[in-house]
Amino acid sequence: MVRAKKVLVWVLGAFAVYAIITAPTQAADIVHQVGQLLMQGFVNLGHFFDALLGNK
């Protein structure tokens, strides 16, 4: 099972490098969108805890 995990990590890493080399603009857009999604998730989590604790 550990060997399969290592192979999967290498395959995903190779795919990421291939995607960046062949389409850098699209790869940058994807990274930007994922960053925006994570940031919005943390903001929403903060709003949730504020509402839960009655800070609003």
Give the Cα separation of 35 and 29 in Å (integer).
Answer: 10
Given a cut of 50, the residues of the chain with pLDDT beneath it are none
Give the Cα separation of 19 and 21 in Å (integer).
Answer: 6
> Looking at residue 18, what is its pLDDT?
94
Burial label, 20 (beta-carbon count in 10 A; 0-12, 13-18, 19+) = middle
**CA 19 distance to own-chain centroid:** 15
pTM listed for this prediction: 0.65
> Looking at residue 56, what is its pLDDT?
62
> Looking at residue 1, what is its pLDDT?
83
